[in-house]
Amino acid sequence: MHAPVRYHYLAGYSVRSWAVLIFFGAIAGIAGMAAMYMESNGHYVTGMTQRVVWGLPHVFAFFLIVTASGALNVASVGSVFRKTDYQPLGRLSVLLAFSILAGGLFILVTDLGRADRLLLTLEYSNFSSVFAWNVFIYQGFFALTVIYLWVMMSRGLAKFYRPAAIAAFVWRLGMTTGTGSVLGFLVSRAAFRSALMPVEFVALSLSFGTAAFAVVLLLFTRYVGNPVATPALLNRLRGLIGVLASVALYMVAVQHLTGLYQAERRDVEHFFLFSGNIYSLLLWIGFVLIGSVIPLVLLFSPIAPGRAWPLGLASTLILAGGMMFMYSTVIGGEVFPLEIFPGKLVSSTAFDGVVAPYHPSFVELLLGLGGFAIAGVVVCMGTWVLPLLPGRVGPEEVESSTH
């Protein structure tokens, strides 16, 4: 069993805490103004076109939603799989998952336009569309994380701790599957349609989310002095992230190798893998090298045990590589020519068979960064008002322990 744990609040009235909150709040406010600018002037002020209808904000949104599911991984390892060393970190893991999803959905709602009509999706839902499914899946994830955190923090609800943990674990797998299905079920896009896409997104979510949690934990350890991040715990977290990053890389490789084997997907796979364009470079240099190979070397190198900086650097690189992967996948899948008449040669003046251009605008970047800022604001406020940060204490000082 792990040592008793006392949970405490973030020192909300310190200058440093206020500076961080104001920083995130300012970026969120600027992102809100960018969204209003797009709403007022139309999407022509962005780099999006009739062929590229999901731009840079959707890249940020997909990344954050996928990462949110994986951010719950640490809590699930501690509760569902009963790894007691991870249990003290469960509260922070749940808060981070809630916060990152809030940031991703902020981008999604504002980028699609007419956010004021969001409630109409509940009144007129088309359940033959995976988009309609996700409206309810995301709401369910919010509800389950709140219940999960409530049960964690309440001694009298200890008997519901494991059922709540299992429910959240299963639901988050479904949420990531649904997000991957948004792309995998688009049969009109040769770059997207694949039964492996939802499974690939599940693997990516576990890697990205755990890496995001490691970065946040190390930041709290560095600037708040959180003593729970002991060298032994960091070593376990390092091994976990290494395994998950390896699985994510393996699933991406399987996805592309399967595409190369299928005759109808060979053209798009050559576009992603061997064309030498920005999307190919982001996949190879961004995701494979920066986001996978270098982090794995750092995580499993002889200098890594007992040190925080290899874990922090590797986790940061995994997240950077994940962003580049999402850009390559989402934007690259849209710019690749549509196959309107399979097996036929099509010739017209409508740019058929031509790779579509896309140049993201500054307003799109601002909106995308707003999602990260919203997540930061929620994490700051959550740790201000709730005792979520764990610290080692003696048995006589125990305030609360995990169930």
Tens-digit pLDDT profile for residues 53-97: 899 999 999 999 999 999 999 999 988 888 888 888 899 999 999
What mean pLDDT value characterizes the chain?
Answer: 86
The count of structural domains within the chain is: 1
pLDDT at residue 304 greater than cutoff 90 = no
Domain membership flag for residue 315: yes
Classified as helix, coil or strand, 271 is helix
Domain membership flag for residue 393: no
Residue, of 343 and 382, whose pLDDT is higher: 382
Predicted local confidence at residue 345, as pLDDT: 67
Domain membership flag for residue 137: yes
Q: Tokens for 151?
A: 């049960």
Q: What residues are paired with 7 via a beta bridge?
A: 390
Query: HSE of 42 in the Cβ direction (CA atoms, 13 Å)?
Result: 3
Residue, of 289 and 12, whose pLDDT is higher: 289
Predicted local confidence at residue 264, as pLDDT: 77
DSSP code of 400?
Answer: -
Tens-digit pLDDT profile for residues 164-197: 999 999 999 999 998 888 888 887 687 888 888 9
Cβ-proximal residues to 4 (8 Å cutoff; 6+ apart), any chain? 392, 393, 394, 395, 397, 398, 401
Classified as helix, coil or strand, 141 is helix
Query: For residue 191, what is the domain's CATH number?
Result: 1.20.1630.10
Residue with tokens 């088309």: 126
Concatenating the DSSP letter of every residue in 71-89 gives HTHHHHHHHTS--GGGGGG
| 8 Å CB contact between 87 and 79 | yes
pLDDT at residue 403 greater than cutoff 60 = no
Query: What is the helix (H) or strand (E) element at residue 244, kind and residue range?
Result: helix 231-261
Whole domain around residue 231: which residue ranges?
Answer: 5-335+354-384
Residue 341: pLDDT band with limits 50, 70, 90:
low
Domain membership flag for residue 207: yes
Domain membership flag for residue 340: no
Domain membership flag for residue 318: yes
pLDDT at residue 338 greater than cutoff 80 = no
Domain membership flag for residue 124: yes
Terminal-to-terminal C-alpha distance of the chain: 11
**pTM, whole model, 2 decimals?**
0.91
Query: HSE of 319 in the Cβ direction (CA atoms, 13 Å)?
Result: 20
Residue 376: pLDDT band with limits 50, 70, 90:
very high
Least confident stretch, 6-10, 39-43, 271-275, 323-327: 6-10
Tens-digit pLDDT profile for residues 386-398: 888 887 533 333 3
Residue 343: pLDDT band with limits 50, 70, 90:
low
CA 387 to CA 146: how far, in whole Å? 14
Cα Rg, the chain, nearest whole Å: 22
Q: Could you tell me how many residues make up the chain?
A: 403
Cβ-proximal residues to 151 (8 Å cutoff; 6+ apart), any chain? 157, 158, 160, 161, 164
